[in-house]
A = this chain, B = another copy of it.
Amino acid sequence: MMAWPEALGLMAGALTTTAFVPQVAKTWRTGSAEDFSLPMLAMFVAGVGLWLVYGVLIEAPSVWLANGITGPLALYLLWVKLRRG
């Protein structure tokens, strides 16, 4: 049976990861990322990248899975921000 903290990590990751799906859908629909701060998105994407490596290193699937999915979604928001301002 999976250690219970890891199960909690998977739930946490599921929430913070799936949270980006309605955001990407809204940004896709509106084409606007104006209210996002560019430094925030750039730092966030870089941080998620490091979290991915960290999760692999400490062999915590909840960490690398969550960040492996959040990364591309956050990257899309950064892309819209860079293109549309």
* Chain B residues positioned under 8 Å from A53 (CB to CB): 8, 12
Known: A27-B35, A30-B35, A40-B20. A15 touches B50 (CB 8 A): yes
* Chain B residues positioned under 8 Å from A41 (CB to CB): 19
The oligomer's copy count stands at 2
Chain A residues touching B, majority SS: helix
Complex interface residues of chain A between 16 and 42 (CB less than 8 A to chain B) = 16-23, 25-27, 30, 32-37, 39-42
Interface size class of A (residues with CB under 8 A): 35 or more
* A interface, CB within 8 angstroms of B: 4-6, 8-9, 11-23, 25-27, 30, 32-37, 39-44, 46-51, 53-54, 57-58, 60, 62-63
